[in-house]
Structure 1
Amino acid sequence: MYSLSDFDFHLPPELIAQMPLAQRSASRLLHVDGVALYDRAFADIVDLLSPGDLLVFNDTRVLKARFFGAKETGGKVEVLVERVLDGRNVHAQVRASKTPQPGSRIRLADAFEVTVGERAGEFFTLHFPSDVFDLIEAHGRLPLPPYIAHDADAIDEQRYQTVYAKEPGAVAAPTAGLHFDQPLLDRLRERGVNFAYVTLHVGAGTFQPVRSENLAEHKMHTEWYTMPAATVDAVRATKAAGGRVVAVGTTSMRALESASQGGALQPGSGDTALFITPGYAFRTVDRLVTNFHLPKSTLLMLVSAFAGYAEIRAAYAHAIERRYRFFSYGDAMLLTRKD
């Protein structure tokens, strides 16, 4: 049995990427093939995939979900929209010196007021005066991860978003997808690699550390996903033809595996709180493209379950020694499932 301390490691702070590279596909790729490690360029992924393989992308779009505002009393408030419930209502984190009361109002971005509703666990329900997506896009700020030290600017608004982002709803990017630009996608199609899409709206909980040494005591954050019937058909066709299903990012992985809990991949939508740790039996995904993850994080546990605990430990030590760039704007890995 693994415990939390088994997933800790020391990362020199200067290896945390603070800015994206000038070109998306110019990042490095650590190819982990069992115990063998290969230092490659990300664009080499074209040659590492075979005709008939299926790349599964998460097409969620990051919202400008962060707001600064004030309560009716004048007290300062920071709001992070966690989930859009419908056209007028959201669940949000609200940081204030005193807990806002139901029925009170908060003015956001000095542009509009929301009404505080009932609590939903750690979140507040906020009622918007008009269309949520319009107000978020017009007045919100892009919520960069807490380990990125600068405020979001115009570069971030473009680069902290995949080129295929479509469905608005995430508060964090599916970062493995940030390495794909259109020329690289075109080369993959020319090679005969197929594409399919899922939607998983990444929540702020993805950055929350696990605090219990006993992993069984950790309560996983929930995220909303949609598994289209077309993607299910593409996965089945790929498997039948002997191809490999390659998840682009841990979010695509969670969606695919969540929709496979009945044994076979099924279409549909719903919340997932799937917590993947070593010992998990993967049902659908054969390979994984992923960035490097935080110490003691659920995502580090996921990749350790997928590629092997010892293999990931060795890969991370190698990446630190070779000065790879870590986290959202960092470099990537290509992993193969260890059966």
Structure 2
Amino acid sequence: MSIPVADPRLLSIHDYTYTLPAERIAPEPLPDRDQSRLLVYRSGHITNQTFHNLPTELPSDTLLVFNDTKVVQARLFCRKPSGGQVELFCLEPVAPHSAIELAMQQTGECVWKCLVGNGKRWKSGPVSLNFTAQGQAATLIAERAEAVDGYSLIKFSWNPATLPFAEVLRGAGHLPLPPYLNREDTEADAVRYQTVYATHEGAVAAPTAGLHFSDAVVADLAERGITTARVTLHVGAGTFQPVKAARMADHTMHGEPFVVQAEVLRQLLAHHLRPLIAVGTTSLRTLESLYWLGVQAAAGQLPPNTLPHVAQWQPYTPGSDLAATSALKALLEYLDAQQLDALHATTQLLIAPGYQFRMIQGLVTNFHQPESTLLLLVAALLGPDWRRVYEHALTNGYRFLSYGDSSLLLPDSL
């Protein structure tokens, strides 16, 4: 399914570009989620569809995998005592918990890694923000602890201290829309920049392939007997990180936490030899990461009481020909031995041309930015045909990026 190259670490991101006119970037979502356009690529043949027809384009024995992460209102506009504004973009928790699920329930105070806007004007001292949470007045105080690798560690404290941090963000924060939209979030974005199946809070960017699914499309999938499963990968701000290195070997992928229930692993195992299609690049990276964690588990390289991790280049070093079923069985045995009902892990997996897909047979995804790691992933799946797909989309009036149109990519006949 992938097109091999000598070594994907030698790739130049400049070979994965195209001209994207600004007017082709969708600034707003369409009125109806499932009325976006759907480009269908099937074994080299391209057709135009509408997204609400997706269920008719899928093989009847498909297992469709969603990422059910929920975007948090991670942008905080605080004020200095002098009145000047400081923007804090919460990226990931540091203390007392680094696990996002626990961090969102933390009360009283916490420390997060943040990007700081107008940071040069914030020399010292606290900044604050008044807001309303659960029907009561509340105040958030932020203090800069230290700078680390271009980020700042920010200590937050709030009153009432009994509020969980999730409620603080809901009351005080704004949705972190992609910077290329170049606008503030609106009440409409609060609904439309979430998937209809968003459940677990923790993402700072939406899994945008899922934004096209309406309740009607989800119901149609069920009526047609198409099975679904959910994983949770909390999308980080690194999804917007440009590739600046001349070679991919010099680009560092951001790590992202994910959770997969044991019952989903069993569902994937039972679905062997039938089409497995990921909704979005985050679902795809999660599914492929499961394989590489299974390789580690089969080799006894997942010690207890550690957070399993997939390194960026693990698939490209002398690896394993382990079958996907064997990898899934090894993960289930690992969870059973640890008496766990879910796999919690992190991944830095970079999927680039030369990658051999182990788990998935297709992908539902939007149209991605030039010279991005997401475009590399599409090129790994389609080979040189990625250019033909994007040229077709540009020629035929498709809308691009987060609020843009969608595609169903099926490289092989299903």
- Give your verdict on TM over 0.5: yes
Alignment of 1:1-339 (within 5 A): 2-71=11-80, 75-84=84-93, 85=98, 86=103, 87=106, 88-98=110-120, 104-108=125-129, 111-129=139-157, 130=161, 131-239=164-272, 242-261=273-292, 262=295, 263=322, 264-265=327-328, 266=331, 268-308=343-383, 310-337=384-411
Displacement of 1:67: 1.2
- What secondary structure is seen at the aligned counterpart in 1 of 2:167? helix
Q: List per-residue Cα deviations over 1:98-140 (Å, max 9, x = no partner).
A: 2867x94232367420233344433323232242111100010
Displacement of 1:183: 0.9
Between the aligned partners of 1:190 and 1:120, the Cα distance in structure 2 is 51
- What secondary structure is seen at the aligned counterpart in 2 of 1:128? strand
Displacement of 1:312: 0.7
Q: List per-residue Cα deviations over 1:290-338 (Å, max 9, x = no partner).
A: 0000000000001110121x11111001100001000011101111246
In the superposition, the TM-score normalised over structure 2's length comes to 0.77
Tell me how many residue pairs correspond in the alignment.
335
Between the aligned partners of 1:324 and 1:136, the Cα distance in structure 2 is 34
> Which piece of structure 1 moves more, 209-218 or 166-175?
209-218
Maintained 8 Å contact 1:198/1:255: yes
The letter for the 1-side match of 2:277 is: V
Query: Structure 2 unaligned runs (5+)?
Result: 1-9, 132-138, 296-321, 332-341
> Which piece of structure 1 moves more, 84-93 or 270-279?
84-93
In the superposition, the TM-score normalised over structure 1's length comes to 0.93
- What secondary structure is seen at the aligned counterpart in 1 of 2:269? helix
Would the alpha carbon gap of residues 117 and 337 (structure 1) be closer, same or farther in structure 2, given more than 3 Å must change?
farther
Between the aligned partners of 2:290 and 2:155, the Cα distance in structure 1 is 31
Would the alpha carbon gap of residues 336 and 105 (structure 1) be closer, same or farther in structure 2, given more than 3 Å must change?
same
Between the aligned partners of 2:229 and 2:125, the Cα distance in structure 1 is 44
Query: Structure 1 unaligned runs (5+)?
Result: none
CA RMSD of aligned residues (A): 2.0
Between the aligned partners of 1:114 and 1:287, the Cα distance in structure 2 is 44
Alignment identity in percent? 41
Q: List per-residue Cα deviations over 1:199-257 (Å, max 9, x = no partner).
A: 11111110111011211110111111112112111111111xx3211100001011111
Larger radius of gyration: 2
Would the alpha carbon gap of residues 105 and 259 (structure 1) be closer, same or farther in structure 2, given more than 3 Å must change?
farther
> Which piece of structure 1 moves more, 50-59 or 168-177?
50-59
